[in-house]
Amino acid sequence: MTRITGILADRAIDALFGEGRLKSEAPLDADQVQPASLDLRLGSRAMRVRASFMPGREHKVADKLERLTLHEIDLEDGAVLETGCVYIVPLMESLDLPQDMSASANPKSSTGRLDIFTRVMVDHAQEFDKIPAGYRGPLYLEISPRTFPVIVRRGSRLSQIRFRVGHSLLSDTELLDLHQAETLVASEVPNVSGGGIALSIDLKGSGPDGLIGYRGKHHTSVIDVDRKAAHDVLDFWEPLYSRGRDELILDPDEFYILVSREAVHVPPLFAAEMTPYDPLVGEFRVHYAGFFDPGFGHASAGGAGSRAVLEVRSHEVPFILEHGQVIGRLVYEHMQERPAGIYGTGLGSSYQAQGLKLSKHFRAG
């Protein structure tokens, strides 16, 4: 059964290419189409710019780049992007969306876990990561490594895009009903408001040492975003332990990898997203990479007990996080149809059945 409204599944994304609604400079990678999204690939050049910018209603991105570019970098053979700098990269994919179809973008999970701040821009945009219905034109990615310098190249995949038709968000009532039927988060009393279901932080720790998370180190070597299991954890991360206090003081301008207390479940007919942090609950930002694919945490896909790994950064002042504190909300959306492949072991998904876990670039153990 196919809904009229909802998030496009993998088969419908493939169809967009067949219809010329999605175009690319090169044939798609075999695993580029995900259950509810498409990975976006970097083009062959990056422009380092003076500052982040928004094109605005009257301008194309290329117009602003003519004025703001400091220098151009060739990505064909790989190049280092330095921390604290802002780069704009034209993407290999472009769009010609139908008038009833919009899109939104988010960093991939591995991108967020490396503290690489990315946002998709389009011509005449007034918002990042939002592509209006009927948009026709190129896509650009703003990249700003925050903690580690990284090596990227043409074809590197740092961001992903979802396509939707009409209204697809579940209301509070629909969310509660779905939770009763499918158990969306492992909580006896779900906290549902504003169309989202709350997640809280786990600061009791796991394992014999009570590991609660990691803090990124400064002045490290570079990370190649396309190499898996290539780096030693302790060269880049400081492990953090509970020490029996069940709390953590977030230092300003430090980057943390933490984990949710609750396991998360996204049934195959739905997709989820972590909403931006709410300043009313504290001066910190949680989870750059917000997409949760259909099947995340689904038992039949090998994902029972999957936690949400959280990228956390404090703003301006130190802030104390306590075990069980609400740190974000998941909003759920209808899929138009069940994807041909759902997130999990069958797709070689990197973070199914995860607990506290760094990105795939680091060697386990």
* Predicted pLDDT of residue 283: 58
Active site residues: 142
- At residue 345, the 3 state secondary structure works out as helix
- Which range (28-42, 88-102, 302-316) has the least confidence? 302-316
Type of residue found at 282: G
Tell me the pLDDT of the chain averaged across its residues: 90
pLDDT exceeds 60 at position 83: yes
Cβ contact 92:38 at 8 Å: no
Q: Euclidean distance between the first and final Cα of the chain, in Å?
A: 44
Q: What is the pTM of this model?
A: 0.92
Give DSSP secondary structure letters for 87-135. EEEEEEEEEE--TTEEEEEEE-HHHHHTTEEEEEEETT-SSTTEE-TT-
As a whole number of angstroms, the distance between CA 158 and CA 114 comes to 10
From the CB of residue 26, how many other CB atoms can be counted at a distance below 10 Å?
Answer: 11
Token reading at 274: 């972590």
SS3 percent helix, strand, coil of the chain, rounded to 5, is 10, 40, 45
Alpha helices in the chain (DSSP H): 10-18, 61-68, 109-113, 172-182
Length of the chain: 365
Beta-bridge partners for 74: 45
* Predicted pLDDT of residue 261: 92
CB contact burial 153-188 (16+ within 10 A = b; e otherwise): bbbbbbbbbbbbbeebebeeeebeebbeeebbbbbe
pLDDT-above-70 percentage for the chain: 90
- Which range (8-12, 172-176, 190-194, 340-344) has the least confidence? 340-344
**Residue pLDDT, tens place only, 50-80:** 999 999 999 999 999 999 999 999 999 999 9
CA dihedral (90, 94, 99, 101) in degrees, to 10, reads: -90
As a whole number of angstroms, the distance between CA 300 and CA 306 comes to 12
Nearest residue to 80 (alpha-carbon basis) of 218, 216, 217, 220: 220
Token reading at 308: 């949400």
Cβ contact 123:138 at 8 Å: yes
- Which range (33-42, 131-140, 143-152, 327-336) has the least confidence? 327-336
* Predicted pLDDT of residue 297: 84
Nearest residue to 283 (alpha-carbon basis) of 256, 317, 307, 258: 317
* Predicted pLDDT of residue 346: 54
Cβ contact 147:221 at 8 Å: no
Give 22's contacts (C-beta < 8 A, 6+ positions apart). Answer: 13, 16, 38, 93, 94, 95, 96
**Residue pLDDT, tens place only, 199-221:** 899 999 887 888 999 999 999 99
Q: How far is CA 39 from the centre of its chain?
A: 11
Give 325's contacts (C-beta < 8 A, 6+ positions apart). Answer: 200, 201, 281, 282
